[in-house]
Amino acid sequence: MSQYDLIVIGAGAAGSAAAYHAADRGLKVLLLEQFEFDHGKGSSHGASRIIRFSYNREIYVRMAALAFSGWRSLEEVSGQTLMHRTGGINFGPRGEPHFEAMIDGLAAQQIPFELMDAKEGAKRFPQFRFDNDFEVLYQADAALLEASKCVLTHLRLAEQSGASLIQNAAVTSVSASESSVTVIASGSTYSADRLIVAAGAWSNHVLRHLNLQLPLQPVRCQENYFEFEHLQAYEMGSFPVFIAHLLSDYGYPYMPYGLPSVNGSGVKLSLHGGPPINPESPDRTADQALVSTMMAFAARYLTSPVIKLLSSRACLYTMTPDEDFIIDYHPEYHNVVIGACCSGHAFKFSNLIGGFLVDMATEQLPKFDLDPFTLDRFSLPDSR
Ligand SMILES: Cc1cc2nc3c(=O)[nH]c(=O)nc-3n(C[C@H](O)[C@H](O)[C@H](O)COP(=O)(O)OP(=O)(O)OC[C@H]3O[C@@H](n4cnc5c(N)ncnc54)[C@H](O)[C@@H]3O)c2cc1C
């Protein structure tokens, strides 16, 4: 049986970052991933993710400051460009509560931003068409992260620092005592002093072996990439990332958002949420009604005609009831740390959270108050 300091389950954004930080700190690390690295069945693959300060909760504004510098450090260490400053806009009807809270959050943390009315917004960002009663917030630091490249960079650097990375190794059994964990994956048994569970939508499949079930709900979301007639105006370098604060009054069950085309990927237009899904379901075919919804969104709020859909594919968010993350120790085993980096907005923080998970696994105090992410905010069922 192979013996490690730390085993990480899951090579998504969180697990890959944790493996990197742990190996970088000199731990003997094993990372196990049930599918191939950078597979498309979870939440961390693809061309792009938004990183932004514009949150309606101060904690995330503060975390974003640390996350931006974490990605910059990773770029320096790896020699790779991972983050592209695009600027970001949020728009919606004046007085929308989420929007107003975001303005307060940015102001409280002294993050610079510009607020403008619809007319000024359309002048500054001619790619958009805003309703007269909209307000538009521009935050110049918002950026796009090349998602798959970030995950693969973490993995590559982890391996260079001596981590063992095994793909197509589904963990089917986990047992723990106060000082050790034993994991079985693809018929092999591995042991370590500590464990980090970063299994995304499958977290409860793993944690049931340790008598724990979290209030997580995987939901089906969909990435849609479109080709626009005025292509250049919607490419990275010209087009900001954006979030539209438009919900049921405008016919959207979840907020629409978008990102520029990256290396010919097409402009990404999606909704921030979706209906419940079983992560084991093999069906990842696109919902055509959702494609039509996003085309109608483009026709109403973007000025260039859409030429065609380039690609569309279902993928997963894993939601907590309050949409905050779960970063905590297992209630019974202090050497097991859980990173459920979920609710459709954790990618930007994954480099940072990976470091927190390793801090916790090695009994160091993370340099950030993680109280909002602890398990005791939920009443958990006794799953024994
Ligand atoms: C379409 C889309 C757009 C998004 N946009 C943004 C955005 O703009 N900005 C942002 O910050 N966030 C965004 N997010 C959210 C963000 O990408 C996720 O929160 C984050 O990637 C989750 O990472 P994770 O590592 O927790 O989970 P995952 O990526 O699901 O990784 C978990 C991994 O664990 C593996 N695993 C599970 N069980 C086992 C097992 N038993 N044995 C071995 N391996 C196992 C899985 O195969 C998987 O690879 C978006 C998500 C999606 C899907």
335-362 tens-digit pLDDT: 999 999 889 999 999 999 999 999 999 9
Residue-level pLDDT at 370: 97
Q: Whose CA is closest to atom 20 on ligand 1?
A: 347
Strand 241-244 relative to strand 256-259, pairing: antiparallel
For ligand 1, whether the C-beta of 171 sits within 6 Å is yes
Question: The CATH number of the domain where 97 resides is what?
Answer: 3.30.9.10
Q: Region 258-272: what's the mean pLDDT?
A: 95
- The tally of domains found in the chain comes to 2
Full 3-state SS string of the chain: CEEEEEEEECCCHHHHHHHHHHHHCCCCEEEECCCCCCCCCCCCCCCCEEECCCCCCHHHHHHHHHHHHHHHHHHHHHCCCCEEECCEEEEEECCCHHHHHHHHHHHHCCCCCEEEEHHHHHHHCCCECCCCCEEEEEECCCEEECHHHHHHHHHHHHHHCCCEEECCCCEEEEEECCCCEEEEECCEEEEEEEEEECCHHHHHHHHHHHCCCCCCEEEEEEEEEEEECCHHHHECCCCCEEEECCCHHHCCCCCEEEECECCCCCEEEEECCCCECCCCCCCCCCCHHHHHHHHHHHHHHECCCEEEEEEEEEEEEEECCCCCCEEEECCCCCCEEEEECCCCCCHHHHHHHHHHHHHHHCCCCCCCCCHHHCHHHCCCCCCC
For ligand 1, whether the C-beta of 106 sits within 6 Å is no
Both 314 and 329 in one domain: the answer is no
Residue-level pLDDT at 152: 98
Whole-angstrom CA distances from 255 to 60, 169, 195, 282, 342 are: 18, 36, 36, 26, 17
For ligand 1, whether the C-beta of 261 sits within 6 Å is no
- Ligand 1 atom closest to residue 49's alpha carbon, by position in its atom list: 8
* 313 within domain boundaries: yes
Find the domain containing 100 and state its range: 87-142+217-319
Q: Say how far residue 185 (Cα) sits from the centre of its chain.
A: 26
Name the nearest CA neighbour of 64 among 14, 111, 96.
111
Name the nearest CA neighbour of 92 among 244, 301, 257.
244
Question: The CATH number of the domain where 17 resides is what?
Answer: 3.50.50.60
For the sheet containing 114-117, what is the strand order? Answer: 114-117, 134-139, 88-93, 241-244, 256-259, 267-271, 217-228, 306-319
CA of 300 to the centre of ligand 1 (A): 31
For ligand 1, whether the C-beta of 269 sits within 6 Å is no
Q: How many residues does the chain have?
A: 384
For ligand 1, whether the C-beta of 223 sits within 6 Å is yes
Q: Whose CA is closest to atom 19 on ligand 1?
A: 346
Give the amino acid at 283.
D
- Ligand 1 atom closest to residue 32's alpha carbon, by position in its atom list: 43
For ligand 1, whether the C-beta of 243 sits within 6 Å is no
* 383 within domain boundaries: no
Give the amino acid at 60.
Y
For ligand 1, whether the C-beta of 218 sits within 6 Å is no
Both 303 and 280 in one domain: the answer is yes
Please identify, among 319, 344, 369, the residue that sits at the C-terminal boundary of a domain.
Answer: 319
* 364 within domain boundaries: yes
CA of 118 to the centre of ligand 1 (A): 35
Please identify, among 319, 335, 366, the residue that sits at the C-terminal boundary of a domain.
Answer: 319
* 335 within domain boundaries: yes
* 18 within domain boundaries: yes
For ligand 1, whether the C-beta of 200 sits within 6 Å is yes
Backbone angles phi, psi at 72, to 5 degrees: -65, -40
- Ligand 1 atom closest to residue 10's alpha carbon, by position in its atom list: 34
Both 154 and 177 in one domain: the answer is yes
Both 194 and 232 in one domain: the answer is no
For ligand 1, whether the C-beta of 49 sits within 6 Å is yes
For ligand 1, whether the C-beta of 170 sits within 6 Å is yes
Residue 244 in this model has a pLDDT that exceeds 70:
yes
* 370 within domain boundaries: yes
Backbone angles phi, psi at 236, to 5 degrees: -60, 135
- Ligand 1 atom closest to residue 317's alpha carbon, by position in its atom list: 53
* 239 within domain boundaries: yes
Mean pLDDT of the chain: 96
For ligand 1, whether the C-beta of 256 sits within 6 Å is no
Q: Whose CA is closest to atom 52 on ligand 1?
A: 43
Please identify, among 297, 319, 341, the residue that sits at the C-terminal boundary of a domain.
Answer: 319
For ligand 1, whether the C-beta of 60 sits within 6 Å is no
Residue with tokens 């538009």: 136
For ligand 1, whether the C-beta of 347 sits within 6 Å is yes
Both 302 and 237 in one domain: the answer is yes
Both 274 and 207 in one domain: the answer is no
- Ligand 1 atom closest to residue 315's alpha carbon, by position in its atom list: 53
* 13 within domain boundaries: yes
* Mutate-to-test residue for ligand 1 from 43, 197, 311, highest number of ligand atoms within 8 A of CB: 43
CA of 349 to the centre of ligand 1 (A): 12
Both 242 and 125 in one domain: the answer is yes
Rounded Cα distance between 372 and 374, Å, is: 6
* Mutate-to-test residue for ligand 1 from 31, 49, 150, highest number of ligand atoms within 8 A of CB: 49
Both 161 and 306 in one domain: the answer is no
Residue-level pLDDT at 384: 45
Both 135 and 199 in one domain: the answer is no
Both 204 and 266 in one domain: the answer is no
Q: Region 223-239: what's the mean pLDDT?
A: 96
Backbone angles phi, psi at 217, to 5 degrees: -125, 105
Residue-level pLDDT at 381: 66
Rounded Cα distance between 39 and 280, Å, is: 14
Both 210 and 155 in one domain: the answer is yes
Q: Region 80-100: what's the mean pLDDT?
A: 96
Q: Region 109-137: what's the mean pLDDT?
A: 98
160-208 tens-digit pLDDT: 999 999 999 999 999 999 999 999 999 999 999 999 999 999 999 999 9
CB 184 within 8 A of CB 195: no
277-330 tens-digit pLDDT: 988 877 788 999 999 999 999 999 999 999 999 999 999 999 999 999 999 999
Both 270 and 354 in one domain: the answer is no
CA of 12 to the centre of ligand 1 (A): 5
Q: Whose CA is closest to atom 53 on ligand 1?
A: 43
